[in-house]
Amino acid sequence: MSHVSPLLLRIAALTVFAASLQACTHLLDAVVPDSGYAREVDQPYGEGPRRTLDVYVPTGAKPVPAPILVFYYGGNWRDGDKSIYRFVGQAFASKGIITVVPDYRLYPETRFPGFLEDGAAAVAWARANAARLGGDPDRIYLMGHSAGAYTAAMLALDPRWLDQAGVDRRAVRGLIGLAGPYDFLPLDANTSAIFGAAPDLAATQPVKFVSPDAPPMFLATASWDSTVWPHNVANLTTAARRNGVAVTTVEYPRIGHILLVAALAAPLRWMAPVRDDTVAFIGRTQ
């Protein structure tokens, strides 16, 4: 029997994961309701094709001004496209929350911290356009799934990135992370390509930046997740509590890594109340 290296196995597994996530989200978007929100697509927030975003604005009765949610999708920092996350925009716009879904540069076009710089620029766009959209520039929530949850956490916890984009971090009222990698040292073959050139590896980890002035957190995991290990959420939760930061941690049973975000879609909400729990978190932290 020929020997297959662990690196090749890892790359193969990540390829299968990315393909299955893309297929799942494409199917969900095909059945997403198209009423209750207006969508503005391909809004530029910087230069280049990966620095555009889609925004979903509630229609009909809604709180004025409305909270704003910026959602970063996952994909191992290598894959992803905002066009297949309409189900996320609908999930929250239908509850009166303006939802922004940005694209951002991916590996190999960029490495750490390029995607953080892009993520912060998308927040700056949301604040600058809040009044036009009927939103509150000082009630912004950062949310992400998997690698996107990493970006949301770093922007919420490490003040460097929002400061560089001219955003007052106090405008971020909460962090919502779905199965995020928050404490993943030592690097493996996959993450080394993306983070290995950082001069201070500890400074790439969200868990290192928790402070008493961090925003409240809602951290969700899936009991069948074998992609992002549970210690990531456990360690971030411990750091938050040590610093007196309000944190809610939920583990949803009998679902895996992909279904944790897919459960936001209308046809799959029966599987886990991720949407309702997120909306409740936003409601009590406004």
Nearest to 92 by CA among 251, 259, 282, 284: 282
Cα–Cα distance, 141 to 52 (Å, whole number): 19
CB 37 within 8 A of CB 271: no
What residues contact residue 277 under an 8 Å CB cut-off, 6+ apart? 218, 220, 250
The set of residues, in sequence order, having a beta carbon less than 8 Å from that of 283 and lying 6+ positions away, is none
pLDDT at residue 249, rounded to an integer: 98
Q: Of 95, 21, 22, which Cα lies nearest the Cα of 56? A: 95
The rounded distance, in Å, linking the Cα atoms of 230 and 82 is 27
Distances (CA, A) of 242 to 69, 93, 201, 218, 245: 27, 34, 22, 16, 8
pLDDT by position in tens, the chain (length 286): 344 444 444 434 444 444 455 556 556 666 777 878 999 999 999 999 999 999 999 997 666 799 999 999 999 999 999 999 999 999 999 999 999 999 999 999 999 999 999 999 999 999 999 999 999 999 999 999 999 999 999 999 999 999 999 999 999 999 999 999 999 999 999 999 999 999 999 999 999 999 999 999 999 999 999 999 999 999 999 999 999 999 999 999 999 999 999 999 999 999 999 999 999 999 999 8
How confident is the model over 176-212, as pLDDT tens digits? 999 999 999 999 999 999 999 999 999 999 999 999 9
User: What pLDDT, on the 0 to 100 scale, is given for residue 34?
Assistant: 80
CATH architecture of 6-284: 3-Layer(aba) Sandwich (3.40)
| Segment 258-272, tens digit of pLDDT | 999 999 999 999 999
Which residue's entry shows tokens 């928790």? 210
CB atoms within 10 A of CB 254: 10
Q: How many residues make up the chain in this entry?
A: 286
Contacts of 61 (CB under 8 A, 6+ apart): 96
Q: Where are the beta strands (DSSP E) in the chain?
A: 37-44, 52-58, 66-72, 98-102, 135-145, 172-178, 217-222, 247-252
d(C-alpha 160, C-alpha 163), whole Å: 5
For the chain, what are the domain ranges? 6-284
* Beta strands at 52-58 and 37-44: parallel, antiparallel or unpaired: antiparallel
The total of other beta-carbon atoms located within 10 Å of residue 5's CB is 9
Task: List the one residue out of 89, 154, 91, 66 whose CA is nearest residue 118.
Answer: 154
Angle, alpha carbons 185-188-189 (nearest 5°)? 155
How many CB atoms neighbour CB 128 within 10 A? 13
CB 282 within 8 A of CB 69: yes
Question: What are the contacts of 48-52 at 24+ separation with CB within 8 A?
Answer: 48/105, 49/103, 50/103, 50/104, 50/105, 50/106, 50/109, 50/118, 51/102, 51/103, 51/104, 51/105, 51/118, 51/121, 52/82, 52/102, 52/103
Question: What integer pLDDT is reported at residue 142 of this predicted model?
Answer: 99
Give the global pTM.
Answer: 0.90
